[in-house]
Structure 1
Amino acid sequence: MTHRFPIKEIARQAALGTATVDRVLNNRANVSPQTRLRVASAIEELAAQEVQLATRGRRLFFDFVVEAPARFSREVKAAAEAILPQIGRAVCRPRFLFQEIMDEDVVVATLMRILKRGSHGVCLKARDTPRIREAVNSLAVAKIPVVTLVTDIGDTDRLTYVGLDNKGAGRTAAYLVARSIGDVAGTVLATRSHERFLGEEERETAFVEALTRRCPKLRVMGVHGGSGVSFETSRILTGAIGGILDLRAVYSMGGGNRSILETLRHNGIRPDVFVAHDLDQENRDLIADQRLDFILHHDLPLDLKNAFDAFLAFHKLASEPVQRRITAIQVVTPENIPAPIRAI
């Protein structure tokens, strides 16, 4: 693996030991594919950020810990890299750890490793559980600020939340469903990737309350699980939809929409309207083919800019006070699909 960076620098970027990086670079045995990928990604990140190193200023390392399907994690990384050239007050070096399924033990262990080695800030998308809250508070005690992304972690000393208004998103989805199908009898399927994501819980609660008020004849059936991953989403949904004969709408809060559509089709079910979240490539393709009716989109690069601004303010490199930073919801249809995020 060719590179021009010191092993110690690659190890720091990849959050691995120097001996592990040395084994990867020299193509030695007993190294997992995931570790090789982390080293390769670290070298790419160092190369992409090299132009920043000529900028005078303090060098800051930020860790992104994200549980999400790969299609969404790619959008997060692209958004972060698109924002970096706009930051002139410091040299910001992101380190990314993305996993499609990251249970409580993995998240806690990851945050404890970050606590041990040090960081200038953690951008976190994770489940809201007692042990993860405790880990977030441990980072805060150590003066490592935590910014939650898209889904919050309740009752912690995290620095701030960045992302969309999840309750507003739920109400918007209810409005779109009500306007599309009217006050008719039937079932609305509300899917979440996991029951412990606070943001999705807020979306569902607001959706149910608003839809019940607008369309009291509709019955909302919640299905939770699958982590937005195709196979698990299909398996859980298959076990839940038996006997549904009157599906009117789907509100998908946690992704896996191609799998949801295929599972419904396999069971002979076709909803009248489908509302989804996030403009990843899968959803772009689906809405362009008019298999999705609406996507609730928010400005992910702005979310990441808000996260970096919050970190810089914490380190007294920006004058803006840290506050809750909410991005507006945009309703995307097949007629107004925004351009994809491009790193500069």
Structure 2
Amino acid sequence: MTHRFPIKEIARQAGLSTATVDRALNDRAHVSPQTKLRVTAAIKELVAQESQLAARGRRLFFDFVIEAPSRFSREVKAAVDAILPQIGTAVCRPRFLLQEIMEEQEVVGALKRILKRGSHGVCLKARDTPKIRDAVNALASAKIPVITLVTDIAGTNRLAYVGLDNAGAGRTAAYLVAQTVGNASGTVLATRSHERFLGEEERKSAFAEALANRCPKLRIVSVEGGGGVSFETSKILLKAMDSILDLRAVYSMGGGNRSILDTLEGHGLKPKVFVAHDLDQENKRLLLERRLDFVLHHDLKIDIGNAFNAFLAFHQLLAEPASVSVSTVQVLTPENVPES
């Protein structure tokens, strides 16, 4: 594997030991394919960031630990790549741990490794569990700031939350369903990727309350799990099909929308309105195919920019304290899909 970086630097970027990186670079035994991919990705990141090294300023390492479907993680990484060139006060190097499903112990293990090796900040999208809260507090106690992305983690000493107004998004979804369905009776399917994502819980609670006020004849059937991953989402939805009668609407809070649509259509069900979240490439295609009616979207670049500003302010590299505000959703339809 050709490269021009010291093994120690690659190891720091990849979050691995120098011995592991050395084995991967020299194609030695007992190196998993996933580890090789992490080393390759680290070298690519170092190449992409090398131009920044000419800039004057402090060099900072930031860790992004994201549990999300790959389609969303790609959007996060693209947003980071777009924001980095705009940062002039320091040379910022991101390190990514992106997995579609991360169990509690995996997240805790990743945060403990970061605590051990050091970091200038952690941007975290993870479930809200007691052990993850403890790990976040341990980082904060070690002066490693943690910013939660899109979904918050309650009762911790995290530095800030960046992302959308989840309760406002839920109320917006209820409004769109009510305007489309009217005073009809029937079922609304509300799907979440996991019960422990606090952001999705906030969306669900606000949606249910607002919909009950606007459309009291509608009944909500909740389906939770699958992590927004297509196969897992379909498997969990199939178990709930008997309870979905007279389907009027779908509010998908956690993704896997093509799988949801295909599963419903396989059972002869077609909602009058389907409201989803985030304009990733899959949802963009579904909108253009007119299989989705509305996508509640917010600009991740704004969120990532807010996160970096909060990190830089924490390290006293900004003249003024950073102001972090939640994002309001944009309502996208097949008629106003942005080209990029």
What is the aligned partner in structure 1 of residue 238 from structure 2?
238
Deviations 1:203-244 (A, max 9, x none): 000000001000001001111000011111001000012153
- Is it true that 1:79 corresponds to 2:79 in the alignment? yes
What is the aligned partner in structure 1 of residue 259 from structure 2?
259
CA separation in 2, counterparts of 1:220 and 1:90? Answer: 49
What is the aligned partner in structure 2 of residue 4 from structure 1?
4
> Which structure exhibits the higher relative contact order, with contacts defined as CA atoms closer than 8 Å and separated by 6 or more residues?
1
CA separation in 1, counterparts of 2:229 and 2:309? Answer: 32
Q: CA deviation at 1:319?
A: 3.0
Alpha carbons 2:169, 2:328 under 8 Å: kept? no
What is the aligned partner in structure 1 of residue 202 from structure 2?
202
Q: Give the AA of the match of 1:277.
A: H
- Is it true that 1:50 corresponds to 2:50 in the alignment? yes
Q: CA deviation at 1:6?
A: 1.1
Alpha carbons 2:293, 2:334 under 8 Å: kept? yes
Matches within 5 A, 1:54-69: 54-69=54-69
- Is it true that 1:300 corresponds to 2:307 in the alignment? no
Q: What is the alpha-carbon root mean square deviation over aligned residues?
A: 0.9
In structure 1, the gaps of 5 or more residues are none
Alpha carbons 2:313, 2:321 under 8 Å: kept? yes
Q: Give the AA of the match of 1:230.
A: S
Alpha carbons 1:160, 1:325 under 8 Å: kept? no
Deviations 1:275-330 (A, max 9, x none): 00011111111111010000000010010000000000000001332454211210
CA separation in 2, counterparts of 1:183 and 1:319? Answer: 54
Other structure's SS at 2:242 match = coil
Other structure's SS at 1:123 match = strand
Q: Give the AA of the match of 1:319.
A: A
- Quick one: percent identity of the two aligned structures? 74
What is the aligned partner in structure 2 of residue 107 from structure 1?
107
What is the aligned partner in structure 1 of residue 14 from structure 2?
14
In structure 2, the gaps of 5 or more residues are none
Q: Give the AA of the match of 1:39.
A: V
Q: Give the AA of the match of 2:338.
A: P
Q: Give the AA of the match of 1:94.
A: P
Alpha carbons 1:160, 1:323 under 8 Å: kept? no
- Is it true that 1:283 corresponds to 2:293 in the alignment? no
Q: CA deviation at 1:2?
A: 1.5
Q: CA deviation at 1:339?
A: 3.4
Q: Once superposed, which parts of structure 1, at least 4 consecutive aligned residues long, lie more than 6 Å away?
A: none
Higher mean Cα deviation, 316-325 or 87-96?
Answer: 316-325
Q: Give the AA of the match of 1:83.
A: I
CA separation in 2, counterparts of 1:233 and 1:202? Answer: 20
Please give the TM-score of this superposition, normalised by the length of structure 1.
0.97
What is the aligned partner in structure 1 of residue 88 from structure 2?
88
Deviations 1:112-167 (A, max 9, x none): 11001000000000000011101100000000000000000000000000000000
Other structure's SS at 1:152 match = coil
- Is it true that 1:29 corresponds to 2:29 in the alignment? yes
Alpha carbons 1:159, 1:322 under 8 Å: kept? no
Alpha carbons 1:163, 1:300 under 8 Å: kept? yes
Q: CA deviation at 1:256?
A: 0.4
Other structure's SS at 1:242 match = helix
What is the aligned partner in structure 1 of residue 97 from structure 2?
97
